[in-house]
Chains A and B, each alone.
Chain A
């Protein structure tokens, strides 16, 4: 398969669109956790009960739902480990669904901006994604899907506690909203370590690119709400959006400061990173992420001309282990992955320079 074809198949169509504030915000995501009344949660479910849940959801979302767009359903037990890994790397399913869920499934729409996980930690996890800073839009979309499921199934809901979820950290609204932000200037100017505790104090979480327990690779941070109970969905979103807006302004100010005060040093750093990516023969994911972040900053600051902005989003995903193995068509050792990663990056940049 040609690299161009592989990339176009590999990258979710929604990622190819440009969104608001896309120089800093890569994507916005909303997830609603729901459970079906009368069925025990996945953690306590046997095969029969789990399959009943899958069939209830597929009936109302795939078979009987003419008004909704077409969704494709994948059963976890029918996928190879590398296929599951690719779905995780694309943020379409959680690591938990790929690795832990006994009877999991996922439903996705054509442009992969909607994915509904079934039998993850909760029966239903509706996830909507959009490029750039579009929290309101993704919440609206998730709510529509939520209402359409609820026409056919009774949810586990309590007047006092709201939507009942398996984990106490999701009870109430079941809403987790997050934005993926690229914050190289705040990291470079050592401001990020002060900003993270401040964001935490406002009841928001800051995490790495693949969610809970992952580090911020390539200066990409995920900011999300922590509280789900006691506030309305709109208030939760407003609080998050307010903080994100402030972080955007801080990042822009830090970028300007770097350009004003350390222009030559900055250019040197960014061009060197581009040089590394154009010429490397072996590269580990951490170094690749660092260089890609630099190149992306160079594109945003118009220091590195002639490279498209989507390159960072693309290569951040394409250079993950699952994708490298899918591209290679075989299982690779970490050392082989480092070689393949370097080749893929070089080829991708060559496409740019044509």
Chain B
């Protein structure tokens, strides 16, 4: 496939933009991609942030006219002062609180970037995450309990129920302190 900019070289960069369900694909060569910005290793014009900004805005620019997806200026992070506009422009959060401040806007972004996923399914920090780990363990144990009851394995069900109670008690104590 030839580059859509110079129509000479082989296209080696392929981008797909999906905005409101409308899919646009463009294919360009490394050379034309570099021509669009100063070339230094790892810092050319097609950075992930610019691509991301394009994803957030459709055309990479903040709309001047209010539209259906108009963002009120009040959507600003209290902790670092970053507005949603700024975030959309640079494609980066200013602090952990931005995730809370812009939460209502984030699912579609994460879905686009992470193949439809919005929820974490990986490692949990050991120290800070002990209660999260226990909540996850609790969910798994409750599912196991249902299975034991269905299979009429009542001895295992009783053991699992005791473990569940123990964890619930620990979590309750944690909340009370």
Interface residues of A (CB under 8 A from B): 35, 37, 39-41, 43-44, 88, 94-96, 99-100, 121, 143, 146-147, 150-151, 154-169, 171-173, 175, 193, 196-197, 200, 203, 210-215, 227-233, 236
Contact = CB atoms under 8 A, between A and B. Distances in A.
A99 B43 contact: yes
A196 B128 contact: no
Contacts of A99: 40, 43
Given A164-B99, A215-B30, A229 B110 contact: yes
A289 B105 CA distance: 45
Contact of B14 (A41, A147, A161, A197): A197
A150 B126 contact: yes
Interface residues of B, number: 52
Nearest to A233: B122
B121 A214 contact: no
Contacts of A166: 92-94
Contacts of A163: 120, 123, 125
A57 to B, nearest CB: 15
Interface stretch (B111-119, B140-148, B159-167): B111-119
A197 B129 CA distance: 38
Interface stretch (B46-54, B59-67, B150-158, B169-177): B46-54
A166 B132 CA distance: 23
Contact of A214 (B41, B113, B125, B128): B41
Contact of A44 (B94, B121, B123): B94
B120 A161 contact: yes
B80 interface: yes
Interface of B: 1, 10, 12, 14, 30, 33-34, 40-49, 52, 79-82, 90-96, 99, 106, 109-110, 113-129, 132, 135
B interface majority secondary structure: loop
A interface majority secondary structure: loop
24 contacts: A35-B96, A41-B96, A44-B94, A94-B42, A96-B42, A157-B125, A157-B129, A158-B99, A158-B120, A159-B120, A159-B135, A160-B119, A164-B93, A168-B91, A169-B52, A196-B12, A200-B14, A213-B33, A214-B42, A227-B114, A227-B115, A227-B117, A229-B120, A230-B117
Contact of B94 (A40, A100, A160, A231): A40
Contacts of A213: 33, 41-47
Contacts of A161: 99, 110, 119-120
What are the 9 closest A-B residue pairs judged by CB atoms, nearest first? A230-B117, A162-B120, A213-B44, A44-B94, A95-B42, A156-B96, A210-B41, A173-B122, A40-B95
Contacts of B46: 213
Contact of A231 (B1, B44, B96, B122): B122
Contacts of B115: 203, 227, 230
A227 to B, nearest CB: 5
A161 B115 CA distance: 15
